[in-house]
Amino acid sequence: MENSKRRFLKGTCALLAGATGATLLTTVNAAESAKAEAEIKYAMVHDESKCIGCRACEVACREVNEVPEGVSRIEILQTGPFGEYPNQFYHFSRKSCQHCEDAPCVNVCPTGAAFIDKETGIVSVDAWKCVGCQYCIAACPYQVRFINPVTHAADKCDFCRETNLAQGKQPACVAACPTKALVFGNLKDSTSEIVQVLRANPTQRAKVALGTRPKLFRILAKSGEVVL
Amino acid sequence: MSKIKWLWSIRLGAIALLLSFSAASAESPLQINSDAACMKCHKRNGSMLGHHGQDTMKMSCSSCHGEKGDHPKKPNDLVVFSLQEGSELDKQLAVCRKCHTPKKLSAADWTHNVHAKKVPCAACHKLHSATDPMAEMTPKVRSELCSSCHAGKQE
């Protein structure tokens, strides 16, 4: 009798200790894997002082991501001409998804179709989950979302996550740019080209006051006028 | 009998007329290509088929290329339109600007404004072929044209 009580207590204690140990181990493992997952944070720089407005990026994006005519994931906005003929120039800026860290489109999506990829920080769309309610289109302060007429789902730039990036290549626009005005890379890798470019140049991001923490940086053209 | 003769003469006349038309169109459709002084030697260069050679434009080779002068001796005052082997840039641009004002060029395409002092028109436009390669371009061809000069440049 005495013995069985002692054995029961011993057994229970051993079980509890084992269970606690296992739980602790799994938490540590989970924490480690979470840390590993967040080692990539993709961003892009558009150097407007190098952009010549050839729109090779638009063409390449349409081709690689099979974006139908009439809609586009990326647009080069053109302002100008500035100055007097024959010494005129234009400004070009890129209009595309800013891959916000706190993305309004993701926050409002009722089905979870709009999401931030935990491994890369890319804001993406799961076309299969999208019901086409267009709430994200209304919520996006940068107005870069559209309904793809083929898939009938919300669509936008995803840094070629499902196409070029999946094949280990640079995004189509970056690869196509003849003047190397676009730089794409990992913000968490201090040796990456994008980090070097961001360190060496003053950059701006659009509508930072909204707290969306966008990851599309622009290097402003050196010469220019104030456009109101 | 006389009726049959009359019918035959009409038929023969019609055939002759058709033949003469086809012969004329095969030979030289545009007046500018019968400019004997130039075509005596330059026939091998092919004929002038572009918009500027249309009869209604009433242009001759010298309208753009200048008077013959000492040509084919060198040096001469003829204007050669080309990016690589052409006459001086200002000389080439001056010829085109006689008709194509900056305002019209600007309205036609914004790229004219930024290249105004940098490249001759012939760097992109081809005037002798039946259609100018710049007339109808897909966005892809257009961006490739930009890259053909701008690739690798940092500006």
SS3 of residue A47 by DSSP:
strand
State how far the Cα of B152 lies from the Cα of A179, in Å rounded to an integer: 5
Q: Of the candidates A191, A204, A158, A169, which has an alpha carbon nearest to the alpha carbon of residue A46?
A: A204
Minimal Cβ distance to A52: which of B106, B142, B150: B150
Task: Name A94's bridge partners.
Answer: A76
Sequence ranges of the domains in chain A = 1-37, 42-219
Minimal Cβ distance to B110: which of A58, A63, A81: A81
Tokens standing for B97? Answer: 């600007």
Q: Work out whether strand A42-47 and strand A114-116 pair parallel, antiparallel, or are unpaired.
A: unpaired
CB A215 within 8 A of CB A226: no
- Tens digit of pLDDT at every position of chain A (228 positions): 567 888 888 888 777 777 776 776 666 666 565 555 569 999 999 999 999 999 999 999 999 999 999 999 999 999 988 888 888 899 999 999 999 999 999 999 999 999 999 999 999 999 999 999 999 999 999 999 999 999 999 999 999 999 999 999 999 999 999 999 999 999 999 999 999 999 999 999 999 999 999 999 999 986 655 555
Do the domain assignments include residue B129?
yes
Q: Which residue has the higher pLDDT, B57 or A37?
A: B57
Rounded to the nearest angstrom, the minimum Cα separation between A52 and chain B is 8
Instruction: Give the domain extent around B146.
Output: 79-155
Secondary structure (DSSP) of A24-76: HHHHHHHHHHHHHHTT--EEEEEETTT-----HHHHHHHHHTTPPTT--S-EE
Interface ipTM = 0.74
Cβ neighbours, 10 Å, residue A207: 12
With a CB cutoff of 8 Å and minimum separation 6, the contacts of A209 are none
pLDDT of amino acid A222: 67
B109/A contact by beta carbon, under 8 A:
no
* Residue to substitute from B93, B104, B113, interface A, most A β-carbons within 10 A: B113
A50/B contact by beta carbon, under 8 A:
yes
Search chain A and give the residue with CA nearest B110.
Answer: A81
Tokens standing for B113? Answer: 């404004």
| CB contact (8 A) between residue A56 and residue B155 | no
* Residue to substitute from A179, A180, A201, interface B, most B β-carbons within 10 A: A179
Looking at the structure, give the CATH architecture of the domain made up of residues A42-219.
2-Layer Sandwich (3.30)
Which chain A positions have a beta carbon within 8 Å of B140's beta carbon?
59, 63
Which chain B positions have a beta carbon within 8 Å of A52's beta carbon?
146, 150, 155
Which chain A positions have a beta carbon within 8 Å of B147's beta carbon?
54, 56, 178
SS3 of residue A185 by DSSP:
strand
| CB contact (8 A) between residue B152 and residue A178 | yes
Helix axes B139-150, A56-64, angle to 10 degrees: 130
Per DSSP, helices labelled H in B28-151 are: 36-42, 61-65, 89-97, 102-108, 111-115, 139-150
Q: Is the peptide bond before B120 cis (omega within 30 degrees of 0)?
A: no
State how far the Cα of A163 lies from the Cα of A155, in Å rounded to an integer: 14
Q: In terms of residues, how long is chain A?
A: 228
Q: Is the peptide bond before A149 cis (omega within 30 degrees of 0)?
A: no
State how far the Cα of A190 lies from the Cα of A187, in Å rounded to an integer: 7
Do the domain assignments include residue B155?
yes
| CB contact (8 A) between residue A54 and residue B102 | no
Taking only the tens place, the pLDDT of each residue in B81-120 is 999 889 999 999 999 999 999 999 999 999 999 999 899 9
Do the domain assignments include residue B32?
no
B119/A contact by beta carbon, under 8 A:
no
Give how many domains chain B has, as a whole number: 1
Query: What is residue B137's DSSP assignment?
Result: -
* Residue to substitute from A48, A50, A52, A55, interface B, most B β-carbons within 10 A: A52
